[in-house]
Amino acid sequence: MSNLVIGLSLIGVVLVWVIVRYFSAVKSQRVRVQEKVLKDQKYQRVLEKAKVAEHEDKVFKAQTGHVSSQLSLAKEFELTSISQAIFWYQKAAALDNDIAQNALARLCRLDRSDSDGEAKSKYWQQVVLAKRKEPEALYQLGYYLVSGYGTEIDTESGVDKITAAAEQGHVEAQLFLGDWYVAEINQHKDPLVAFGWRVRAALTDEVKGCIKTAFCYQSGVGVVKDRDRAIYWLERAAEMGSSEAQFLAAKMHLGSDANDAAIAYVWFSIANAFGHKTAKTERDEAAQYVGIESILAAQSVANSVYRLLKRQPVARHRVIDLMDRVYARSSYRPDEDVLASLASGELAGDTAQAEAIASRDGEVEMDLSSVASPGRDSEFRDIENGVSTDAEKSEGADDSGLIPETNNETATKEYQQQNWATSWDSFTAESKKSSS
């Protein structure tokens, strides 16, 4: 019995000890957990403070032009705020960082809060492409800078980019500069430079370049007025199948004599065959100054030339030489050395030429408010709408079909005194349409 009591007592003591140890261990565990939680909280607060300090330091560095910090901040914001990411990428891109510029080309269109996001993406894409010095990319980037498409307007930088493209033979860039240097919005107009770029475009057998060069000679933009040279460049474009150039070449021949009237009839007929909308009406009006036998001959010439022009490309001067032979015409031909100088841009710096231009009577006034009619070059709008000549308003030609000499002189004088508007507005509209 005593042994049993002793045993139970021992068991009770052991059980109590176990219970005490258990609760002691639990309490110790709880204390350790609490200490760990407090330690972790303290560490977290320290870590957060460190992150805040690091972020503030990163922002400070980014604001003072540290590219790596700018890129890091932008990358962080890509997942939370596109607009903030774009903000910091723009900072780095302004410092010519390739990564940032590529990121902007990718992200700007994704910013729904920015209505110009698509334009900005295109701009930055051109910035990246232009680094390869490819003329098309340089031209597009320059145009975006001049027009403020997707970026702030930077005319000086834009023109520099376009000039770099033009120097590499980019025809659109050359035409742009030809218009830019006579545009009213350009505070540093230089008609001589404008003429040089237009001629360089024309020498690549570009229709617009030929027509614009003809305009320079017709109106005296950068060069002394010269009707023969204007006709030459129009007929160069006409040889390439341009109905507009064919129509204008015909207009240039009006108001002289029956021989020129016959040439005008030929070009009107060809322009009509190539689809010019008003050439037929103009041809029928010109017919009254051409004898019946001359009209039949002109129709035959027109048919032959039309068949020749339908088989493009046509050898340079082939049609012009044909017209010269048929109508015993002595037309202008540019000297090859002069063409080589023009192609290299040397004429643009010719002081003798500049002095000749400065001494000419009158100044050509550029009117950028004029809007080109659809499908027409605005520089030739006055011609297209019809030339008011005494010969056309006179009682008519004599029995031989010739235009009276006095009326011819008056008509020629009135024609040469016309004011053709620059094509800057129409060119800008076309460029915006192509870039959109």
pLDDT, tens only, 146-178? 999 999 999 999 999 999 999 999 999 999 999
Q: Confirm whether pTM is higher than 0.85.
A: no
Percent of residues, the chain, with pLDDT higher than 70:
77
For residues 287 and 316, the answer to whether their CB atoms sit within 8 Å is: no
pLDDT the model gives residue 343 = 64
Cα 162–chain centre separation: 8
pLDDT the model gives residue 399 = 32
What's the helix, strand, coil split of the chain in %, to 5? 70, 0, 30
pLDDT the model gives residue 28 = 83
> One-letter amino acid identity for 286?
A
**Would you say residue 4 has pLDDT above 90?**
no
Alpha helices in 311-404 (DSSP H): 318-326, 336-343, 351-358, 381-384, 390-393
The answer to the question of residue 225 being in a domain is: yes
The answer to the question of residue 282 being in a domain is: yes
Where is the domain boundary, 311, 346, 381? 346
Distance between CA 81 and CA 261 in Å, rounded?
71
Over residues 372-388, mean pLDDT: 36
Task: Count other C-beta atoms under 10 Å from residue 183's C-beta.
Answer: 19
The answer to the question of residue 110 being in a domain is: no
Over residues 61-90, mean pLDDT: 89
Higher per-residue pLDDT: 47 or 250: 250
Long-range contacts of 83-90 (CB under 8 A, 24+ apart): 83/111, 83/113, 83/114, 86/111, 86/114, 88/62
The answer to the question of residue 23 being in a domain is: yes
∠374-375-377 over CA atoms, to 5°?
Answer: 100
pLDDT the model gives residue 346 = 66
Distance between CA 101 and CA 56 in Å, rounded?
24
For residues 291 and 400, the answer to whether their CB atoms sit within 8 Å is: yes
Helical (H) or strand (E) element with 12: helix 2-63
**Would you say residue 53 has pLDDT above 80?**
no
For residues 255 and 417, the answer to whether their CB atoms sit within 8 Å is: no
Q: How confident is the model at residue 352 (pLDDT cuts 50, 70, 90)?
A: very low
Where is the domain boundary, 346, 378, 396? 346
Over residues 307-325, mean pLDDT: 93
Question: Residue 330's domain spans which residues?
Answer: 213-346
**Would you say residue 181 has pLDDT above 50?**
yes
The answer to the question of residue 131 being in a domain is: no
**Span of 25-34, 66-75, 337-346, 364-373 with lowest mean pLDDT:** 364-373
The answer to the question of residue 37 being in a domain is: yes
Per the structure block, which two tokens stand in for 4?
């049993």
Buried b (16+ CB within 10 A) or exposed e, 92-126: bbeeebeebbbbbbebbbebeeeeebebbbbbbbb
Q: How confident is the model at residue 308 (pLDDT cuts 50, 70, 90)?
A: very high
Which among 172, 225, 244 is positioned nearest to 201, based on CA atoms?
172
Buried b (16+ CB within 10 A) or exposed e, 189-208: ebbbbbbbbbbbbbbeebbb
Over residues 226-253, mean pLDDT: 95
Reported in sequence order, the residue ranges of 162-252 that DSSP labels E, i.e. its strands, are none
Omega cis (within 30) before 313: yes
pLDDT the model gives residue 344 = 67
Per the structure block, which two tokens stand in for 404?
């009276």
| The CA-based dihedral angle spanning residues 49, 53, 58, 59, taken in that order and rounded to the nearest 10 degrees | 100
Overall number of domains in the chain? 2
Which among 409, 350, 417 is positioned nearest to 382, based on CA atoms?
417
**Would you say residue 392 has pLDDT above 70?**
no
The answer to the question of residue 139 being in a domain is: no
Where is the domain boundary, 346, 375, 403? 346
The answer to the question of residue 257 being in a domain is: yes
